[in-house]
Amino acid sequence: MSGTPVLSTLKDGLAGTRPVWIRGVLNATANFILTTMAGGKSYDEALAEAQQAGLAERDPSADVDGYDSMAKTMILAGLVFGRQLRTEDVFRRGITEIDTEEVMDALAANTRIRLVSSVELYEGTLTARVEPIRLPIDDPLARIEGVSNAVVCDAEPVGEVTIVGPGAGPELAGQGVFSDLIAVARRHANP
């Protein structure tokens, strides 16, 4: 998620809490496409714009079919809940079947469609999903536009914590890698 400091915030900032669930908009490309469609463009036009801007690959299936979000969901499940999921443990549905009419209907109903990743621990069972969801406008994830990412974590006794940040672009990806290298160097310097 490039410039969004999710991992350190969840791992260190919420240390000592008991996580209940996490929901997030984890893929900036899919979010850009859905936001562009809300402006009246078709899926194909929005995808072409994302590719032209360098946000989407020539083969965008990892982003638009939810595979990238699924991988990030699996990482969050391991980090926050201490459970390693397999791909078959995560329900996954992408945004390729969303059309402009559906996006405009959501807008008219004061909702927004977002590709939402979720992990929930309930009575010892961990459930993970990646799917387009219609969210009410007052949901923090509904307000995430363009290439932004966000994660909302409910952890006891703190309650809901929302982390929002930029999610795409070469400079941000470079910063994310640099941040990871610094974290690794610190851990090896102070074992």
- Specify which residues 48 forms β-bridges with: none
pLDDT for 36 equals: 97
pLDDT for 168 equals: 64
> Which pLDDT band holds residue 132 (cuts at 50, 70, 90)?
very high
Q: Which of 23, 72, 114, 129 is catalytic?
A: 72
Q: Does 174 score more than 70 pLDDT?
A: no
pLDDT for 163 equals: 86
19's enclosing H/E stretch is strand 18-25
**Active site (annotated) includes residue 11:** no
Name the residue among 110, 133, 103 with its Cα closest to residue 23: 133
Q: Class of the 19-148 domain?
A: alpha beta
Is 0.85 surpassed by the pTM of this model? yes
> Which pLDDT band holds residue 41 (cuts at 50, 70, 90)?
very high
pLDDT for 42 equals: 97
Domain ranges of the chain: 19-148
DSSP code per residue over 99-147: -HHHHHHHHHTTEEEEEEEEEEEETTEEEEEEEEEEEETTSTTTT--TT
Q: Does 191 score more than 90 pLDDT?
A: no
Q: Does 84 score more than 80 pLDDT?
A: yes
Percent share of the chain, pLDDT over 90: 69
pLDDT for 140 equals: 96
